[in-house]
Chain A
Amino acid sequence: MTTESRGTPGHHVTFARFLWRAAGNATDGSWLFYAWMFGLTAVALVGLNAWARQMAGGMAVTGMSDHVSWGLYVANFTFLVGLAAGGVMMVIPAYLYRDREMHEVVIIGELLAVAAIVMALLFVNVDIGRLDRMWHLAPGLGQLNWPMSMLTWDILVLSTYLLLSLYISGYLIYMRFLGREPNPRHYVPFVLVSIVWAISIHTVTAFLYCGIGGRTFWNSALMAPRFLASAFVAGPAFVVLSLQVVRRLELFDVPEAAIETLLKIMRVTVVVNLFLLFCELFTHFYTGGHHSEAVSYLFFGAHGHSELVPWIWTAVALNTAAAAVLLGRPLADNRVLLNAALVATFVGIWIEKGMGLIIPGFVPSTLAEIVPYTPSLPEWKITAGIWAFGLMIFTVAVKLALHSMSGELRLAELAPKPDADTKEAA
């Protein structure tokens, strides 16, 4: 590689130093940073403990049953695949439309993809009855039922997307650490592949459900388009909030134009998302009969059971309110109101693409029985734990990326004299 010719040590040395410095950087910070990470660690450990107990005692500790055999874990998994795909709404403007301001902060979208996929995969893992047999999925070693099982497709596209996102963001951070301009030939082709891949992960995840003929609620061709529409609401919402935190903490000078572009995208997707929901509801309710039973249970309850009714109406209210704020110009100019709308629609889609999507697939059951489901305390603990862990990954990754850009995380020989040195001299 070219490093030798420049008199610096080879990549095996500089990359090791990079990892060492990154580990130091990741564990250094203000009191606020320590408090945040400490809090997240505590929640993650509570989740870990609940999971260890679930492994020992069996999945009977969850609220799931043979009638509702997937619950909160798969709900979160589905939403997080969308969140991971949503980051692509930064990548497309930055790389396909050469939006310079977006390009400056695009790495946040790529790191969001990494954190979200890690969380999504963790949610799959905690839902598996026999984690000790996961090697049965390993190509070559096990018996991967590809291409028949949609689950194998999902595993393959998700792992590939994780690798792509890790490589792209890792390469960019490492190059900045070396004080070098990233070589477009070494990463832009992967970025272009990752754009298609982002669409594919959520499409395949939708196919996982809509390919099941026995469950009317899922068996809709609109599933994949709806998944993507909501992903492109939740993803940008999370990124816009993160960018404002980054700006508030003075970690990076976030260009306003990047935020504006994301909001413009959201103004379209938030409406498309509601429109597609409306199309789905029309088909179910106008047709009526058994076709509408799951949706009736979801929105109005059935046979004295209304477990999901508060959930789904909250989601609809949050998403509609957010759409009103985003589209009403004077409202959106109020930053507090805007941020409230972003949080609202994020939560709204978490419900809609989570509990609101998974549970009505099982209630009523395929034999028309109504067996309700409510998540148990261990399920909530494990869910909170995975989210906390994912936020830790995202926090540290964004910190490293921004520090590599500002020069704080740089190979010692190249580093500009930082403050610490001046202090030492004094």
Chain B
Amino acid sequence: MAEQGTTRRRALKALGVTLGAGAFAGAISPIATFTEGLTLDEVLQKHYRELSADELARVIARLEAETRARYGAEVTIADDRPTEGVQLAYALNLSVCIGCRRCAEACFVENNHDRRTHNAYPRVFEMEQGTMDMAEADVTYRHAVPAEGHFYMPVQCQQCANPPCVKACPTRATWQEPDGIVVIDYNWCIGCRYCQAACPYHGRRFNWQRPELAADEVNPDQGYLSNRIRPQGVVEKCTFCLHRVRRGRHPACLEACPTGARVFGNVLDERSEIRWVLEQKRIFVLKEELGTHPRFFYYFDQ
């Protein structure tokens, strides 16, 4: 009797385990969509700063091929390095900014942002006249600008010299380049979003989904550390359009500004406009008390 009982129990357990395993396999099966897009090369890819020139070339070739396959776009991904003796900084004249958000639109186009979320790095705050209190500001305004009794303050990554986001990152996936730009290796970021929690300026965005982008809207002129189309599940940020500024061009947001509110350049260059603004204007930075030392300065002209 007892032996029969034991056998029956064993059989039931075996049945239970089989059914359980089946249910497990069924429950986890949707993950196939995630894993089939993954290649071993991608999973095992080294940190950007540890890649040899050859390895980086192979990585870039792979990324270009992936973009072709996934987005149907022919792109070139460059790896522009910082120039010695260059320290980049940005200044913004709040007296002339009219809040037209053309900077945001230019960023959207230049940096291959997700079309669904309409992400862009600069966000323009409509401020109440007479106060610098952000709690009184509106970032979602939808009316003709400039509106009476308001001024406008665009905020994007402040490229802090003492960046809390870099400190927070558990995998060193984000760091400050010698020219001052804080970058992310999108292929090293694990997507924990601790940097987003640490950033006091809302400078960082997460790819909650794979970015959506039509082939004819892709900007083919891309940089590994800047505007290439980001993978799902990683954090991204403003890089001062690193792929442009390291080739002597201006950031897209500056080029688009119709009022000339934006000034950008190498502060070590004594004849640069940025140097002149920093020396002549009464400049300030956002949240100075946090000790982040932004490279993004604001000033009023009048």
A residues apposed to B, CB below 8 Å:
27-28, 41, 45-46, 48-49, 52-53, 55-60, 62, 64-67, 69-70, 124, 127-134, 136-137, 142-145, 148-152, 155, 208-209, 212-215, 290, 293, 361-362, 364-369, 420, 423-424
Contact = CB atoms under 8 A, between A and B. Distances in A.
Q: Which of B1, B16, B29, B202 has the most chain A CB within a 10 Å cutoff?
A: B202
Given A45-B27, A214-B199, A293-B135, A136 B173 contact: yes
A129 B30 contact: no
B164 A212 contact: yes
Contacts, number: 175
B47 A129 contact: no
Interface in B43-95: 43, 47
A424 B291 CA distance: 78
B202 A27 contact: no
B190 A149 contact: no
Interface string B107-141: 00000000000000001010000000111010100
Contact of B206 (A53, A69, A142, A290): A69
A151 B16 CA distance: 40
Contacts of A212: 164, 168, 197-198
Given A69-B206, A143-B173, 11 more contacts: A27-B13, A45-B23, A48-B24, A58-B233, A131-B190, A133-B188, A134-B190, A149-B169, A214-B199, A214-B201, A366-B202
Given A49-B30, A137-B190, A423-B2, A58 B232 contact: yes
Interface residues of B, number: 66
Nearest to A219: B290
Interface stretch (B207-215, B218-226, B265-273): B207-215
Contacts of B210: 58
A99 B26 CA distance: 49
13 contacts: A45-B24, A56-B33, A59-B191, A59-B208, A129-B190, A129-B192, A129-B207, A133-B171, A143-B47, A150-B168, A293-B135, A366-B199, A366-B202
B20 interface: yes
Contacts of B168: 149-151, 212
A70 B193 contact: yes
The 10 closest A-B pairs by CB, nearest first: A129-B191, A129-B233, A214-B200, A56-B33, A58-B209, A60-B208, A368-B134, A49-B27, A151-B170, A52-B31
A369 B167 contact: no
B233 A144 contact: no
